[in-house]
Amino acid sequence: MTSLPAPMTQAAYRAVEQFRGSRPRADAEPDGDLLPSFLLWLIAQGRCQTAAELHRAFRPDRTLAAALDRLLHDGLLVEQDGALVASPTGHDALGLDRPSRFPAPPELRASGATYALDARLATGAQGEVWMARQTDPLERRVAIKLVAERGDAERNAMLFREAAVLADLAHSGIPAVGDTGVTGDGRPFVVMEFVAGRPLDEFCDRNELPLGERLRLFLRVCAIVHHVHAQGYLHRDLKPQNILVTPDPDRAVKLIDFGLALSLDGERNQPGRVQGTPTHMSPEQASGAAELDQRADVHGLGVILFELATGLSPVREADLVQAGRDITGVVGAAKVRASEAFARAPNRWELAERRGTDAGALRRALQGGLDPVIERALAVDREARHADVASLAADVGEFLAEWEGSGHAPRVRVGTWLLALLAVATVAFVAGAVWGGAWVRR
C-alpha cells in the first residue's frame, strides 16, 4: 500500500489548522514537499472537489500541478464524475476512515489471481472502469473494465472482443490486457494495464505546452494509430479523452477505449447504426455508412489537430444539440478553416499564450501551413482526405520542422517524416510486447 511519510502527514495537519476559517493566501501556501499531503487532506475532508477549485485557492503554478500529478499517479487521489476524491488508499495513508461511497472492496478472481476493487473511476454505456489492485500471486495496480449488468449478451461480447483486439495490437502505446474473468454474479470483466495519465488536450493545457510540443505529441499519436491500421483495425472513436499522456519525463502516450474498434478485413458497420462521438466522428460514420476505412480515423485525427492547434472545435456542440437525432447535416458540413475560427475567438490571446506564442503569430502559422493540412484531413469527401495516417503525419512533420526552423509557417511538403513515422511505429510494436498492467482515465 502506498503511504505518505508520517512527518509529511503531521505537517499537513498543522497546515490545515492554519487553513481553517480563512482562504489560503499566496504567501501562506505549504511548501512543495508538504503540498501533496495537504491537498489530499483537503480533498478527503470535502474542502475542495475539483482541480479548478484548488487552482482558485492556490497559485496555479507547476508546484500545484506536480502535487496533483503525484497524488493521481500514486493512486491516492482519483476522479469520480468530474470531482477529485481521496481513494481508499489515500484515506488509509492519512489514517482516516473510508467514506461510505467506498464500500468494502469486493474481490475478483481469474486465472489463479485475486483482484481487489478500490474505486470506480468511470461509468459509461458499456460498463464501469475501476481502479484495482492485484493482490495474489503478486501485487500491482491494475484497472478493471466491468460490464455494468449481468445478462447483457451484446455488451458481454463487446467487452471480450475489445480484449481480443487489444491482445492483437500489442503496442507500447496501447494498454496491455492481463486477464479476463467473470464475477460471482455473472458479469464479465477484463484486467488491463493501469495508465496514470491525463487526456491529451488537458495535459497540453495544464502544462501550457507550446505549439511545437503539442504537434510532437500528435505525431506520437499518429504512430500509434498507424500501427492500429497496420494490424487491420479501425479505432472509430479518436478524441483527446481517449488519448492519455503520463506526467513523467518521458510523457508516455496511450490510446485507449477500443470498444468500437472495427476490423478492416471485411468487417462492415451495421448499416444505419451510428457509433462514435459526434464532435469527432467522420461524415460517413454520422450517416451510418456500412463501408468504413482508415480515412474515418484520419478525420478524427484532423479534429484533434484542429483542437490542439487552436483550443477550439470545428464542430459546435450547440449545433449538434439543435440537430437532435439527425446529426448528419452538422457533421457532414464543410468545416471552417482553423485560422478563421481562431481569429473570431474572443479569447484568442489567451489560447495563443497557452501555446507559447501570441495571437498574430499563431494565426500566421495556421494560415501559412497548418490550415491546408487540417482542411485536407477534415474533408467531407473522404476521397479528398489524406489516404492514410502516414500521409497526414508527413504533412504535420514537414510543417513542424520548417516552422520551428524559420519562425514562421512554411509551405507544407510531404517528405521524410513518413519514414520516421514508420520507424517509430516499428520500434513501438516491438516494445509493446512487454506487459505492464489496464487502462484508467484520469
CATH 1.10.510.10 location in the chain = 198-431
The CB-side HSE value for 69 (13 A sphere, CA atoms) comes to 20
Q: Which of 87-91, 212-216, 351-355, 407-411 has the highest mean pLDDT?
A: 212-216
DSSP secondary structure string for all residues of 202-230: HHHHHTT--HHHHHHHHHHHHHHHHHHHH
pLDDT band at 95 (very low <50, low <70, confident <90, very high): low
C-alpha cell at 81: 464524475
86 or 11, which is more confident? 86
CATH 1.10.10.10 location in the chain = 6-94
Q: For the ranges 7-21, 82-96, 105-119, 246-260, which has the lowest average pLDDT?
A: 7-21
pLDDT at 110 over 60: yes
Average pLDDT of the residues in 224-229: 96
Average pLDDT of the residues in 406-410: 51
In the chain the first and final C-alpha atoms are separated, in Å, by 20
* pLDDT given for residue 14 in this prediction: 55
Output the pTM of the full model. Answer: 0.74
Residues 6+ apart with CB under 8 A from 432: 169, 170, 171, 172, 173, 174, 176
Other CB atoms within a 10 A radius of the CB of residue 306 amount to: 28
The CB-side HSE value for 359 (13 A sphere, CA atoms) comes to 12
Q: Distance between CA 282 and CA 287 in Å, rounded?
A: 9
Kindly list the distances between the CA atom of residue 126 and the CA atoms of 123, 129, 155, in Å, as whole numbers in the listed order.
8, 10, 6
pLDDT at 55 over 80: no
The pLDDT mean for the chain works out to: 76
Q: For the ranges 112-116, 327-331, 355-359, which has the lowest average pLDDT?
A: 327-331
Return the percentage of the chain with pLDDT > 70, whole number: 66
* pLDDT given for residue 322 in this prediction: 58
Which CATH number is 107-192's, of 3.10.20.80, 1.20.1740.10, 3.40.50.720, 3.30.200.20? 3.30.200.20
* pLDDT given for residue 356 in this prediction: 86
Q: Distance between CA 125 and CA 139 in Å, rounded?
A: 30
C-alpha cell at 325: 437525432
Secondary structure E strands in 63-110 = 77-80, 83-86, 107-110
Q: Distance between CA 142 and CA 116 in Å, rounded?
A: 10
CATH 3.30.200.20 location in the chain = 107-192
pLDDT in tens, 260-294: 898 888 776 666 567 778 888 888 888 777 788 99
CB distance 177 to 256 below 8 Å:
no
Q: For the ranges 52-66, 124-138, 414-428, which has the lowest average pLDDT?
A: 414-428
Q: In the CATH scheme, what architecture does the domain 198-431 have?
A: Orthogonal Bundle (1.10)
8 or 88, which is more confident? 88
pLDDT in tens, 147-160: 877 767 888 888 88
DSSP secondary structure string for all residues of 277-309: -TTT--HHHHTT-S---THHHHHHHHHHHHHHH
Under CATH, which number does the domain 6-94 receive? 1.10.10.10
* pLDDT given for residue 57 in this prediction: 60
* pLDDT given for residue 2 in this prediction: 42
